[in-house]
Amino acid sequence: MKNGLPLLRHPTNPILTAADWPYPAHSVFNPGATRLADGTTLLLCRVEDHRGHSHLCVARSKDGIGDWVIDREPTLLADPSNYPEERWGIEDPRITFVAELGKYIVAYTAFGEMGPGVALASTTDFRGFERLGLVLTPHDKDAAVLPRRIDGRFALVHRPVRADGSDIWMSFSDDLRTWDGATRVLAAREVGYWDSAKIGLSPPLVQTPRGWLMLYHGVRETCSGSLYRVGAALLELERPWITIARGEPWLFGPDADYERVGDVPNVTFPCGFTVGDDGDTIHVYYGAADTSIALATGSVSGILDWLDRSAPPR
Ligand code: BMA
């Protein structure tokens, strides 16, 4: 019997592939997501070209499921002459609307000779972007800004690399450029668990009355490569470095053929979600096998109920 999990694959998955692209692309995956003021779902997709370098491209849809309108050209390209840390591309965007600024802040991975680092850009319309540049030096990635200040400061979830694995951390800033006060939020679990090799943030945190809901990816190394699954945790609202609950099993993981087979097999890698008008329904957008974009649907309340059942008492 399959585990009763609160995220369901959409029957039309994968919802976007390189074949849908209006210009040559090798693969499309790991999109950031947001819902614009008029209800349109916007995906900022990672597109890999035939050099193996990635850029970002916008796809828009009224219902967040089909009839995607894709920008005719790359929306945000790497700019290695001004930002050498982007020499091999920009990857895995996470989008946060920061109401105080009236802007979307996009956190993405800048990939260059030094390895992956965290870069930020702001936008109001996903046509023009203002780069803030590299804000966390390599090796660091899987970052997203919180939608509001914590104790008077902006907060950024990120994933620095340590020698034998990687955990999720949070840093703080007054101006979005200089980050300090790094605090560990969640650690990879001990060997034997599905999330023992490394973990990293998936979509940006979702604020709920009970705490910040965090979906994260957890990696297990096997003799056939890495398995990328998704877990959930709940963090304190005013002290988000403190975990209230963490699911012991994974919430979602590779199962369908398009998740099992592709450039990097056995990968489900969400970078974005949208919340519906009811404040509860969620669409989670994820990269499948580093090849295509897929959608899983569920609800915030359903994941919180699952956490109540799946988190050992702390
Ligand atoms: C991670 C990131 C993701 C990728 C995943 C699986 O480290 O590089 O972009 O989807 O590996 O290859």
* Residue 289 Cβ < 6 Å to ligand 1: no
User: Measured between alpha carbons, how far is residue 163 from residues 59, 106, 159, 198, 202 in Å?
Assistant: 37, 28, 13, 11, 21
CA 272 – CA 295 distance, rounded (Å): 10
Higher pLDDT: 314 or 249? It is: 249
Q: Is residue 275 situated within a structural domain?
A: yes
Residues 202 and 114 in one domain: no
Q: State which H helix or E strand residue 273 sits in.
A: strand 268-275
The protein residue whose alpha carbon is closest to atom 10 in ligand 1 is 290
Statement to judge: residues 131 and 265 lie in one domain: no
Does 8 reside within a domain?
Answer: no
Domain edge (last residue) among 139, 157, 187? 187
pLDDT of 2 strictly over 60 = no
Distance 88 CA to ligand 1 centre (A): 14
Report CA-CA distances (Å) from 73 to 21, 58, 66, 296: 9, 9, 20, 27
Q: pLDDT class for 3, splitting at 50, 70, 90?
A: low
98 Cβ closer than 6 Å to some ligand 1 atom: no
Shared-domain flag, residues 166 and 262 = no
Question: Is any ligand 1 atom within 6 A of the Cβ of residue 240?
Answer: no
Q: Atom 4 (ligand 1): residue with closest C-alpha?
A: 290
Using only C-alpha atoms, the chain has a radius of gyration, in whole angstroms, of 18
Q: Does residue 156 share a domain with residue 41?
A: yes
Give the angle 155-160-161 at the CA atoms, nearest 5°.
170
Residues 223, 264, single domain; the answer is yes
Q: What is the pLDDT of residue 1?
A: 45
Domain around 244: 189-314
Q: Are residues 123 and 180 in the same domain?
A: yes
252-288 pLDDT, tens digit each:
999 999 999 999 999 999 999 999 999 999 999 999 9
The residue behind tokens 């990939």 is 111
Q: What is the pTM of this model?
A: 0.97
- Residue 62 DSSP one-character state: S
What are the tens digits of pLDDT across the range 24-62? 999 999 999 999 999 999 999 999 999 999 999 999 999
Q: Does 269 sit in the ligand 1 pocket, CB within 6 Å?
A: yes
Distance CA 133, CA 31 (A): 20
Bridge partners (DSSP) of residue 119 are 108, 134
- Structural domain total, the chain: 2
Task: Let me know whether 107 and 72 are in one domain.
Answer: yes
In Å, how far from its chain's centre is CA 2? 26
Query: Are residue 183 and residue 41 in the same domain, yes or no?
Result: yes
Atom of ligand 1 nearest to the CA of 267: 6
**One domain for residues 96 and 140:** yes
Residue 282 forms part of a structural domain:
yes
Percent of the chain whose predicted confidence (pLDDT) is above 90? 96
CA distance 31 to 130: 19
pLDDT at position 111, please?
98
Q: 259 CA distance to ligand 1 centroid (A)?
A: 13
Closest residue by Cα to residue 283 from 206, 209, 210: 206
Q: Are residues 43 and 169 in the same domain?
A: yes
Helix (H) or strand (E) holding 258: helix 257-260
Identify whether residues 103 and 118 lie together within a single domain: yes
In a domain, 10, yes or no: no
Closest CA to 197 of 164, 162, 230: 164
Is 264 close to ligand 1, i.e. is its CB under 6 Å away? yes
- Do 93 and 78 lie in one domain? The reply is yes
The residue to mutate among 29, 118, 161, 267, having the most atoms of ligand 1 within 8 angstroms of its beta carbon, is 267
- Identify any residues that bridge with 116 across adjacent strands, giving them in sequence order: 111
Pocket test for ligand 1, best of 28, 30, 142 (most atoms within 8 A of CB): 30
